[in-house]
Amino acid sequence: MSEELTSEDREKIVEALYAGQKIQAIKDYREATGAGLKESKEFIDALEQKLREEHPDRMKPAASGCSSTASMLMIVVLATIAGAWVMST
């Protein structure tokens, strides 16, 4: 297993993190180093944290786990339910 990242590999990983593509960064790290999934995730998590501290303006916000489309759908459903409830009273 090669632990060394070339400057090209590191730049590719950093750019993936700046773009909010954490899974791609983990894949790129694994491919470059031959590291396992757990070790790769730990490395990328640490690097992501470092980049967020050093360059917060370049980092996309962390994913909230819910897409904006899903959020909008939830609002529409709740508004429909509330409207139906008001109409029935």
pLDDT of residue 27: 97
Read out DSSP for the chain?
A: ---PPPHHHHHHHHHHHHTT-HHHHHHHHHHHH---HHHHHHHHHHHHHHHHHH-TTTSPPPP-SS-HHHHHHHHHHHHHHHHHHHHH-
Taking 70 as the threshold, does the pLDDT of residue 24 lie above it?
A: yes
- Report which of residues 66 and 74 the model is more confident about: 74
Among 15-24, 46-55, 57-66, whose mean pLDDT is lowest? 57-66
What is the arithmetic mean of pLDDT over 25-30? Answer: 97
